Amino acid sequence: MNGGFLRKGGGATGQKAICACRCGLAAVMAALVLACSPKAMQPLSRLDTPEHHAATGIRLLQQEHYAAAEREFDLALQGDPRHAKAVAGAGLLKACRGDFAAAREALEQALGYAHSSEELLFVLAGQIRVHAMSRAACLKVGTECSDDDGRLLAAKETYERAVRIDPTAAAAHYYMGECYLTALELEAAGRMFSRVLDLNRGYTAQADARWKLLQKIHRAQPATAAGRKIVLADRLTRAELAALLMEEMRVDLLYALRAPRGPDPAVIERARMGAAGGGIADIAGHPLQAEVEAVVRVGIRNLGLYPGGSFRPEEQMDRAGFALLLEELLVRITGDGALATRYVGSRSPFPDVGADFPSFNAAVLATSLGIMEPGDALTGAFAPHRPVGGADALLMLRKVREELR
- Alpha-carbon distance of 362 to 147, in angstroms, equals 44
| 396 assigned to some structural domain | no
Position 142 confidence tier, pLDDT thresholds 50, 70, 90: confident
Cβ neighbours of residue 347 under 8 Å, at least 6 residues apart?
Answer: 355
| Mean pLDDT, residues 14-29 taken together | 47
Contact 168, 199 (CB under 8 A): yes
Listed residues 153, 177, 201: the one ending a domain: 177
| 31 assigned to some structural domain | no
C-alpha closest to that of 326 among 385, 271, 369 = 369
C-alpha closest to that of 301 among 326, 280, 277, 273 = 326
| Mean pLDDT, residues 179-192 taken together | 94
| 103 assigned to some structural domain | yes
Q: What is the pLDDT of residue 34?
A: 40
| Mean pLDDT, residues 203-227 taken together | 94
| 232 assigned to some structural domain | no
Q: What is the pLDDT of residues 328-344, one digit of tens each?
A: 999 998 899 999 999 99
Position 260 confidence tier, pLDDT thresholds 50, 70, 90: low
| Mean pLDDT, residues 254-268 taken together | 63
| 149 assigned to some structural domain | yes
| 80 assigned to some structural domain | yes
Supply the angle between the helices 204-220 and 390-404 in degrees, to the nearest 10: 30
Cβ neighbours of residue 192 under 8 Å, at least 6 residues apart?
Answer: 173, 174, 176, 177, 180
| Mean pLDDT, residues 214-230 taken together | 93
Question: Residue 124 is part of which domain span?
Answer: 50-177
pLDDT, greater one: 258 or 204? 204
| 95 assigned to some structural domain | yes
Q: What is the pLDDT of residues 279-299, one digit of tens each?
A: 798 999 999 999 999 999 998
Q: What is the pLDDT of residue 336?
A: 93
Backbone φ, ψ for residue 399 (5° rounding): -65, -35
| Mean pLDDT, residues 187-195 taken together | 97
Q: What is the pLDDT of residue 51?
A: 95
Q: 123: domain CATH number? A: 1.25.40.10
pLDDT, greater one: 240 or 2? 240
The dihedral through the CA atoms of 31, 36, 37, 43 has a sign that is: positive
User: Three-state SS for 237?
Assistant: strand
| Mean pLDDT, residues 187-191 taken together | 97
Q: What is the pLDDT of residue 147?
A: 57
Domain total in the chain: 2
- Alpha-carbon distance of 344 to 370, in angstroms, equals 19
| 367 assigned to some structural domain | yes
pLDDT at 8 over 80: no
pLDDT at 132 over 60: yes
pLDDT at 376 over 90: yes
The helix or strand, by DSSP H or E, that contains position 40, with its residue range, turns out to be: none
For the chain, give the percent of residues with pLDDT over 90: 71
